């Protein structure tokens, strides 16, 4: 798959550094990302990842890591290095797919869309408020923003749910003692007993470049309570989505979250700056329940790159 990357295009220089943790695969992916974006690269063993992040807490860090090493940290890496963005994924090729996606140019002239559940302010002016309306949206979205209740595995809507379950949906062979096993991995169906399988939309089927989710625990990697097999954020990056900005832990969303992120990206700022702006705004209202994290490259400017190619 590495041979499929077009290395003849101009260097896409990004802010910050690249840090990788894990084995030879993560070392190679970190080096690829760094060399393709004009950044320095450091590699550490999983046991040293937490200390390496703490040392770089003032820097913008693209952290390439597999899920096993991420779990060993024991918490969301952004709590150790606030400007970090995580590049990872499920399966053997998950980190590779995420790194390559972050280096792929976006499609051009894409609209932003918002999905706000009916029980929250703003639903009447949103692009969608129900699962039926989400399914009716056509075309790729640049920034797709969700405001609703949720958990690590899902976003709740009145008539259905955005589901993070993996394609396999099997019970993990090894489950950490602190991990909650959801009923869907035990053969009992979804925890929402009011829904049938047709009421569940796999998150990976959403057609969007960047997704913002202010439902609780949307980005809960490293400190996750449920297995990665049902992670909403990890499912999103298995589709067209290259980055997820999502709630870390229990969340009280900023009412202007979607506008804050959209304005940052349209102003030629990168995903790290957009995430930091939303965290700063959230801290003024509901700290620490306004905290969000980035699953993606913090140096990526998705909108600016599209605009430059269109010029």
The domain locations on the chain are 2-102, 113-310
Q: How do beta strands 84-87 and 141-147 pair?
A: unpaired
Do 2-102 and 113-310 have matching folds? yes
Residue 253: pLDDT band (50, 70, 90) is: confident
Position 310 scores a pLDDT of: 43
Scan for tokens 């801290």, then name that residue: 283
Structure tokens at 302: 């998705």
In the predicted model, is pLDDT for residue 183 greater than 60? yes
Enter the CATH code of domain 113-310.
Answer: 3.40.50
Say what the pTM is: 0.91
Strand partners, 18: 41, 62
CB contact burial 185-196 (16+ within 10 A = b; e otherwise): beeeebebeebe
- 226 in Cβ contact with 257 (< 8 Å): no
Mean pLDDT of 164-180: 66
Average pLDDT, the chain: 88
Mean pLDDT in residue range 14-43: 97
Which of 40-49, 184-193, 213-222, 259-268 has the least mean pLDDT? 184-193
CATH 3.40.50 describes domain 2-102: yes
* Cα 292 from Cα 280, distance rounded (Å): 10
CA distance 55 to 198: 47
């Amino acid at each position: 798959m590495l041979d499929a990357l077009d290395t003849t295009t101009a260097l896409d220089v990004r802010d910050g550094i690249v840090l990788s943790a894990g084995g030879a695969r993560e070392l190679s992916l970190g080096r690829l990302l760094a060399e393709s974006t004009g950044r320095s690269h450091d590699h550490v063993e999983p046991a040293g990842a937490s200390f390496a992040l703490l040392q770089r807490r003032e820097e913008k860090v693209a952290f390439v890591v597999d899920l096993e090493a991420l779990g060993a940290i024991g918490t969301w890496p952004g709590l150790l290095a606030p400007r970090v963005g995580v590049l990872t994924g499920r399966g053997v090729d998950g980190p590779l797919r995420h790194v390559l996606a972050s280096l792929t140019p976006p499609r051009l002239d894409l609209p932003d869309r918002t999905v706000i559940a009916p029980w929250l302010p703003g639903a009447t002016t949103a692009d969608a408020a129900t699962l039926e309306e989400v399914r009716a949206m056509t075309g790729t979205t640049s920034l797709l923003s969700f405001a609703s209740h949720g958990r690590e595995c899902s976003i709740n809507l009145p008539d259905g749910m955005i589901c993070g379950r993996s394609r396999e949906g099997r019970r993990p062979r090894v489950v950490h003692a602190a991990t909650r096993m959801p009923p869907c991995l035990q053969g009992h169906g979804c925890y929402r007993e009011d829904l049938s399988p047709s009421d569940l939309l796999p998150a990976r089927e959403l057609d969007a470049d960047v997704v913002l989710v202010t439902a609780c625990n949307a980005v809960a990697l490293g400190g996750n309570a449920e297995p990665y097999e049902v992670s909403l954020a990890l499912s999103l990056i298995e589709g067209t989505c290259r980055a997820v900005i999502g709630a870390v832990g229990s969340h009280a969303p900023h009412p202007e979250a979607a506008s804050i992120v959209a304005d940052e990206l349209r102003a030629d700022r990168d995903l790290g700056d957009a995430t930091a702006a939303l965290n700063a705004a959230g801290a003024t209202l509901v700290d620490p329940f306004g905290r969000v994290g980035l699953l993606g490259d913090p140096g990526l400017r998705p909108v600016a790159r599209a605009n430059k190619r269109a010029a």
